[in-house]
Structure 1
Amino acid sequence: MSNKRNLVLYIATSLDGYIATQDDSLEWLFKIAGEGDNGYSEFYDTVDTILIGRRTYDWIVEKEKGNFPYKNKKCYVFSKSKIGKDESVEYINQDVVEFTNKIKRMDGGKIWLVGGGNLLHSFIKERLVDEFIITIAPTLIGDGIPLFKKNDFELELKLKSMRKFNQFVELHYEVK
């Protein structure tokens, strides 16, 4: 029997709690001075599986002009309309809890929940996220896609670590 793999939400947010503007822009994030890659490579090396919502996947493909950045990882895209595989990802149209618990039982490294907002909410609500690594950018964007939606549940976390990358602060929590 294999050990249970951790599912990690590794994400950046504005100080006022938004992960993107209403039009899905992240330009506000790239205007801020970080330090190196702000710990991204260190985290990325621990991951072998990536979960992405369809809207976020489409945004990544568009922004990267077809050069998918996660080619060396097993990538699953949750989609209500697309099924099958392409050269980079496998499309998933099944129960989120059942599918996620299945891959958490497989051997491997960490599972990275990339986004977007609706997918994040369903994973948090179903208590599928084991760790939260949230990098806070020193900017207020006023409106957009919130990191956390209004919910009807509580989730207790324990702070594992804090790091500073120039103007960014990374908070690493595990679920109690």
Structure 2
Amino acid sequence: MKKQRKLVLFIAQSLDGYIATKDDSLDWLFEVEGEGDNGYSEFSETIDTVLMGKRTYDWIMEQEKGQFPYTNKNSYVFTRSSVTDTKDVTFINEDIVDFISNLKKEEGKDIWIVGGGDILHTFLKEKLVDELIVTVAPTIIGEGIPLFKPDDYKLDLSLRSTRTFNQFVELHYTVNE
């Protein structure tokens, strides 16, 4: 029996739980002394598909000056509007649960939830996430975009491992069924 692909969150947050400032800045993250790429390359080898929301996609395209950084991966962007696919990205405007369930059944490596907070919230609430790899930066930014939005849902997790990358701490959790 073939192994079902996992949906994995790999993300960094401030110690107080934010993934970006109110104005979408990640400057605070790059001010922390890490180690190499803080495990990104190693993680990237385990996935062949990336998922993100349209707002995250737009932010990445602005930051990368129009050069999509995940050209070697199958890339899907969830949007409520009608957007034409590009050579690098397929835009998805369909039921998230059905789409993810079908994607997990396909052959391939694991699937990375790049961001952002809205799409992650839906994935968590619908219990679609299998693992969370959260790297915590020793920075408190006070307010911003939270990693986890308040709502009426609960996930039980098991700690798989911890690692440090200089000042960063990586927490790797498996979602209990």
Q: Which residue of 2 aligns with 1:56?
A: 56
Residue in 2 that maps onto 1:120: 120
Instruction: Determine the structure 1 residue equivalent to 2:88.
Output: 88
Report the aligned-residue RMSD: 0.9
Instruction: Quote the residue 1:33 is aligned against.
Output: 33
- Contact 1:33-1:166 within 8 A present in 2 as well: yes
Aligned to 2:76: 76
Asked if 1:108 corresponds to 2:108, the answer is yes
**Partners of 2:60 and 2:151 in 1: how far apart?**
27
Distance 1:127 1:29 in 2: 28
How many Å separate the matches in 1 of 2:153 and 2:55? 26
Paired residue secondary structure (1:41): helix
Quick one: distance in 2 between partners of 1:167 and 1:68?
A: 29
After TM superposition, the structure 1 stretch with the greater mean CA deviation from structure 2, 52-61 or 80-89, is: 80-89
Letter in 1 for 2:80: K
Give structure 2 stretches of 5+ with no counterpart: none
Amino acid at match of 1:121: H
Displacement of 1:66 in angstroms is 1.4
Contact 1:2–1:105 under 8 Å retained in 2 = no
Please give the secondary structure, in 2, of the residue aligned with 1:10.
Answer: strand
Aligned residues with identical type, % of pairs: 61
Structure 1: how far apart are the matches of 2:74 and 2:160?
27
Q: Which residue of 1 is the match for residue 142 of structure 2?
A: 142
- CA deviation map 1:107-139 (0-9, x unaligned): 000100011111010000000000000000000
Q: Runs ≥4 in structure 1, deviation > 2 angstroms?
A: none
Number of equivalent positions = 176
The TM-score with structure 2 as length reference comes to 0.97
Counterpart of 1:6 in structure 2 is: 6
